[in-house]
Chains A and B, each alone.
Chain A
Amino acid sequence: MEIYLIIMLVLMILGSIYSLHAKDLLSAVISYGIVGFGLVISFLLLQAPDLAIVQVVVEIVTLVIMIAVIKNTTHEENEKSFSFSTIFYLAVVLVFAATFFIIFDKMTGTLSSFGQHFTRMSTAYIEGAHETGSANLVTGIVFDFRAYDTLGEATVLFTAVIGVLTILRLKGKKKDYK
């Protein structure tokens, strides 16, 4: 079980590295799909079928939007030109990686190791599941115990849709103020 997850994660890492270095933007987007669908299989292995279903839909929609963007613009990667700023940015990435790894190491030290998780917070949710009337605990939590989260999600989605419509509007308002 754990070995399958390791294989999926290594595949996802390789796919994302190839995607960032691909010569053509279309192949970059398609190999980015490896990451998303690898995530779907990982969710299934980790006993999270709700997330797997949502992730499949989200990944397909993301890929369709990205391919539509590339088809309407260009799929040429811009020409390479070596500059010293690349080395500077690589150094910044290394500094970030070192800092994050120290924090990550401290943080995961307090977590229990993989598979030994103790459901401390959600015991009340699991025991009170019959009050919600939902057989699925995840939807029970999302729509009953934590319904305000869904309200916030709807707000964010609404804002994003308004933003996309505003940005992609073809004509601006006529400037006839005098």
Chain B
Amino acid sequence: MILFILCFILFMVGLYGVMTRKNLIKIIIGVAVMEYSVNLFFILVGYVDGATVPILTKGFEKGPFVDPLPQAMILTAIVIGLATTALLLSIAIRLYRKYGTFDIRKINSLKG
């Protein structure tokens, strides 16, 4: 249970970063931290005590495995997370070229 709560705290640190930081790069870091904490939470839920890696090797064909389903889901989610982070960073570069700053208080003109 303490592991689940620590995972929740990590998510909340990411949310705190997104809400209170004024720098675009730090906001992106906050988003990525939130995503990592969710990934870790899924794997924590799927863990079984004393179980082995879900790979069929000699002598371990039947043996208790950790749950392979959340691992398969998170494998997809990690790669998608990289894609979204790269997209956010490219938007940040574009904004920097236009405004010359990462400060979101100065990026406030809607004129094209």
Q: Report yes or no: B1 in contact with A114, Cβ–Cβ below 8 A.
A: yes
- Chain B CB within 10 Å, residue with most, of A5, A43, A47, A114: A47
Classify chain A's interface size.
35 or more
Number of interface residues of B (CB under 8 A): 78
| A55 neighbours in B (Cβ, 8 Å) | 78
Q: Report yes or no: B48 in contact with A117, Cβ–Cβ below 8 A.
A: yes
A86 to nearest B CB, angstroms? 6
Residue B82 contacts which of A2, A61, A125 (CB distance < 8 angstroms)? A61
Q: Report yes or no: A137 in contact with B55, Cβ–Cβ below 8 A.
A: yes
Q: Report yes or no: A141 in contact with B72, Cβ–Cβ below 8 A.
A: yes
Q: Report yes or no: A119 in contact with B48, Cβ–Cβ below 8 A.
A: yes
Contacts A117-B46, A136-B55 given; indicate if A58 touches B7 (C-beta within 8 A).
no
Closest to A81 in B: B105
Residue B29 contacts which of A32, A135, A168 (CB distance < 8 angstroms)? A32
Q: Report yes or no: B67 in contact with A122, Cβ–Cβ below 8 A.
A: yes
Task: Please give the residue numbers on chain A whose beta carbons come within 8 Å of chain B beta carbons, in ascending order.
Answer: 2, 5-6, 9-10, 12-13, 16-17, 19-20, 25, 28-29, 32, 35-36, 39, 42-43, 46-51, 54-55, 58, 61-62, 65-66, 69-70, 72-74, 77-78, 86, 89-90, 92-93, 96-97, 100-101, 104, 108, 111, 113-117, 119, 121-122, 125-126, 129-130, 135-138, 140-142, 146, 149-150, 152-153, 156-157, 160-161, 163-164, 167-168
